[in-house]
Amino acid sequence: MKEMLTKEEVLHVADLARISLTEEEIKKYQVELKKLLDDVEKINNVKGYDDDILIACWENSAELRKDIAGDMLDPKEVVNNAPRHSGNYIEVPVVISEGEGA
């Protein structure tokens, strides 16, 4: 078993997590992340699980709410919480490409 992650492996997870790292940090995490990943590998030693429970709110299924509007937050207050805003909009540096999702 290798002692530490490669620099590339650390950079890959840092990118997924959107955290920039200094060279020094990369070195540190090469060791520390490896330790945690070794820990979670122990799951492969566990036997005997059967069914595929994927959500752990075990004892109830979702109780559905009526489609009635509740309290609203004041959009001004919402926007004022943002580090950068203008009017009723929250501002970010220009995003060139369009949204990924819906």
Partner 1 sequence: MYLNKSIKEINELLKNKTIKPIDLVEEAFQNIENNRELNAYITLNKEEAIKRAKELEDKEVDNLLFGLPIAVKDNIITKGLRTTCASHILDNFIPIYDATVVEKINEKNMIIIGKTNMDEFAMGSSSRTSYFGAPKNPWNKEKISGGSSGGSATTIASRDLPFALGSDTGGSIRQPASYTGIVGMKPTYGRISRFGLVAFASSLDQIGPMTTNVYNNALLLNALVGKDEKDLTSVRREDEDFTRLIGEDIKGMKIAVPNYFMSDIVSKSITSKVKEVIELLKSKGATVDYIDVDYLENAVTLYQIIAMGEASSNLARFDGIRYGFSYENPENIEDVYLKTRAEGFGEEVKRRIMVGSYLLSGENAKVYYNKALSIRDDMRKALKKVFDSYDLIIGPTTTTTAYDLTDPMDDPSKSFMDDVLVIPVNMAGLPGLNLPIGFDDNKMPIGMQIIGNSFEEAKIYKLASYLEKELNLSLNPNGGEDNE
Partner 2 sequence: MSNYIPTIGVEVHVELKTKTKIFSNSINGYGEMANSLTNVVDLAYPGKAATILNCKIRRIMHFDRKNYFYPDISKNYQITQNATPIGYDGYVEITKSTGEKKKVYIEEMHIEEDTCKSAHRGTKTLLDFNRAGVPLIEIVTKPCMSDGEDVKLYLEKLRELLSFGDISDCKIEEGSMRADVNVSIRKNESDPLGTKAEIKNIGSISNAKLGVEKEIERQTKIYDAGETFKPQTRRFDDKINDTVLMRVKETGNDYRYFPEPDIPYVILTDEMIERAINSIPMLPDERREKYKKLGVSDINTEKLVANRSLSDYFNTLLDEKINHQIASNLLLGDISGYLNKNEKLITDTTLSKERFIELVNLIDNNTLTSKNLKDILDIVLESDKSIQTIIKEQGIENITDDSEIRNIVKEIINNNPESVNDYKQGHDRAIKYLMGQVMKETKGKANPKMAMDILTEELN
Choose which of 8, 51, 98, 100 interacts with partner 1 (CB under 8 A): 51
CB of 98 to partner 2, least distance (A): 6
Sites for partner 1 among residues 14-43 (CB under 8 A):
14, 16-21, 29, 32-33, 35-37, 39-40, 42-43
Sites for partner 1 among residues 64-83 (CB under 8 A):
65, 70, 73-74, 77-78, 81-83
- The reply on whether position 86 binds partner 1 by CB under 8 A is no
Is residue 80 within 8 Å of residue 73, measured between CB atoms?
no
Is residue 6 within 8 Å of residue 29, measured between CB atoms?
no
Cα dihedral 53, 54, 56, 60 sign: negative
Burial class (CB in 10 A: 0-12, 13-18, 19+), 21: middle
Residue 46 interface partner, choices partner 1, partner 2, none, CB cut-off 5-8 Å depending on type = partner 1
Name the residue type at position 64. Answer: L
Structure-token pair, residue 59: 């004892």
Is residue 7 within 8 Å of residue 30, measured between CB atoms?
yes
Which residues are at the interface with partner 1 (CB under 8 A)?
Answer: 10, 13-14, 16-21, 29, 32-33, 35-37, 39-40, 42-43, 46, 48-60, 62-63, 65, 70, 73-74, 77-78, 81-84, 90, 92-95
